[in-house]
Amino acid sequence: MIGTFNINDAYMDMLATLPNEDKLDLISRLVNSMKKAVSKTKEPADQFSGFSNDWGGDMTTEEYSDMLRNKNIDNYRTIEAW
């Protein structure tokens, strides 16, 4: 058609003259730019916050995990190798 211009065809005509190494470099750059464009879903700040009322009352997850780590630290047992 007269008067129509397809930008993709123009790019392909220009890129056809490049060596294969340069084409591969452009492919990887395009893929990386597309990966950056995909937005990731945001995770909640505290993924276990829904469990705070089940076990720890009003404690945050960090406070509850610290309590579990430090509780009964004197009561340990020695495990011998087999």
Q: Which residues, at least 6 apart from 63, have a Cβ–Cβ distance to it below 8 Å? A: 56
Residue type at 53?
Answer: N
pLDDT of 25: 94
DSSP state of 80: -
pLDDT of 47: 65
Tens of pLDDT, residue by residue over 14-66, are 889 999 999 999 999 999 888 877 767 666 676 666 665 566 677 777 887 78
What is the pTM (predicted TM-score) of this model?
A: 0.39
4 vs 57, higher pLDDT: 4
pLDDT of 21: 94
What is the distance between the alpha carbons of residues 12 and 29, in angstroms, rounded to a whole number?
Answer: 16
